[in-house]
């Protein structure tokens, strides 16, 4: 009798499991399968790609080998809330999506674009901003409207949206390796290039840190509102949920605001601002 009873119980368990599986499929529900999160959990480490040369997002302070910056400290706080350690892989921005796709890194920070959204998942924003131009003070590098970019030389990385904006308006993009801010600004100052298009907050702080150059942010051109997000591979639903939950907690408890004000001279980049007189640019994601 005991053997028969055990057999009946086993059959019932199999039927129950089959019915549950069938019900899940019928309702469209599936249990998340996330090998990426499992690997992170097993190692106890999440690997973050960052450039290490862009003040104040990711940089080494003078006379220090300790990486810091807004992006870096957001990653550190995120890892803590995920219950793992963070390891940084320093690389040029142009290499980051490739490193993410190959599995060399687990997360990076970048703005969402339609083409990359086919392969990667973007978290809720950790930073809101817009684009500006650094130009020569004396003549704005001959630029008074977006169309004046035609024929100019714009310093920038090859694959950024800022370089796409420059190209859209007819500028030639002069690309750099993993260069620091002073290289970009020096070239505008000495005339090798005419303009640097980039994030407003980064540009403002770069000029403040390097006052020796006769440059300014163009006073009349504000354009391309954008966000910075944590980027992961598509097949990581558990990691995506955990990252978004942690970011929401960081917003609600004021952690993102605190980090922002520390690195952006009192500005809160973690909340969406009201952009006055913003120039929209068609065809640029």
Return the percent helix, strand and coil in the chain, to nearest 5.
Answer: 45, 25, 35
> Apex CA 201: angle with CA 199 and CA 204, to 5°?
105
Token code pair at residue 193: 């290039």
Lowest-pLDDT range of 7-16, 72-81, 185-194, 264-273: 7-16
Is residue 8 scored above 70 in pLDDT?
no
CA neighbours closer than 13 Å in the CB half-sphere of residue 2: 0
pLDDT at position 26: 41
Task: Indicate the average pLDDT of the chain.
Answer: 88
For the chain, domain boundaries: 35-126+228-263, 129-224
CA distance 139 to 125: 36
pLDDT at position 33: 64
CA distance 131 to 224: 5
CA distance 131 to 278: 10
Asked if residue 141 lies in contact with residue 152, where contact means CB atoms within 8 angstroms, the answer is yes
Is residue 29 scored above 60 in pLDDT?
no
Token code pair at residue 207: 């000029």
- Domain 129-224 grouped into CATH 3.40.50.970: no
CA distance 132 to 194: 13
Q: Do domains 35-126+228-263 and 129-224 have the same CATH topology?
A: yes
Q: Give, in order, the Cα–Cα distances in Å from 69 to each of 53, 173, 205, 263.
A: 10, 27, 12, 7
- The SS3 of residue 68 is strand
First to last CA, the chain: 70
Q: What is the DSSP string of 177-227?
A: SS--HHHHHHHHHHTS-SEEEEEHHHHHHHHHH-TTS-EEE-SS--EEEEE
Token code pair at residue 52: 């290490």
Asked if residue 38 lies in contact with residue 236, where contact means CB atoms within 8 angstroms, the answer is no
- Residue at token pair 């390891």: 87
Query: What percentage of the chain reaches a pLDDT higher than 90?
Result: 69
Query: What percentage of the chain reaches a pLDDT higher than 70?
Result: 87
Q: What is the per-residue pLDDT across 212-258, written as a single tens digit (0 to 9) for each?
A: 999 999 999 999 988 999 999 998 999 999 999 999 999 999 999 99
CA distance 46 to 104: 11
Asked if residue 160 lies in contact with residue 93, where contact means CB atoms within 8 angstroms, the answer is yes
- Classify the phi-psi angles of 191: left when phi > 0, otherwise alpha if psi is within -120 to 50, otherwise beta: left
Q: What is the assigned CATH class of domain 35-126+228-263?
A: alpha beta
């Amino acid at each position: 009798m005991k053997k028969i009873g055990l057999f009946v119980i086993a059959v019932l368990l199999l039927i129950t499991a089959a019915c549950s599986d069938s019900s899940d499929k019928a309702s469209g529900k599936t249990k998340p399968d996330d090998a990426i999160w499992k690997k992170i959990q097993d190692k106890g480490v999440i690997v973050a790609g960052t450039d290490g040369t862009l003040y104040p997002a990711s940089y080494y302070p003078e006379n220090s080998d300790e990486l810091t910056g807004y992006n870096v400290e957001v990653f550190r706080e995120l890892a803590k809330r995920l219950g793992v350690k963070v390891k940084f892989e320093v690389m040029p921005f142009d290499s980051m999506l490739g490193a993410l796709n190959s599995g060399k890194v687990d997360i990076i920070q970048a703005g969402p674009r339609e083409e990359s959204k086919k392969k990667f998942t973007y978290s809720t924003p950790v930073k809101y901003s817009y684009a500006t131009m650094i130009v020569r003070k004396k003549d704005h590098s001959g630029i008074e409207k977006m169309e004046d970019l035609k024929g100019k030389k714009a310093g920038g990385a090859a694959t950024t949206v800022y370089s796409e904006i420059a190209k859209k308006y007819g500028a030639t993009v002069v690309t750099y390796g993993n260069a620091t801010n002073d290289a970009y600004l020096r070239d505008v100052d000495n005339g090798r290039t005419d303009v640097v298009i980039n994030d407003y907050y980064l540009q403002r702080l770069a000029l403040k840190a390097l006052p020796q150059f006769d440059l300014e942010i163009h006073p009349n051109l504000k354009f391309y509102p954008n966000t910075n997000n944590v980027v992961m591979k598509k097949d990581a639903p558990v990691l995506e949920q955990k990252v978004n939950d942690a970011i929401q907690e960081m917003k609600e408890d004021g952690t993102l605001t605190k980090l922002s004000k520390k690195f952006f001279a009192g500005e809160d980049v973690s909340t969406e601002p009201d952009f006055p007189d913003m120039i929209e640019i068609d065809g640029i994601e």
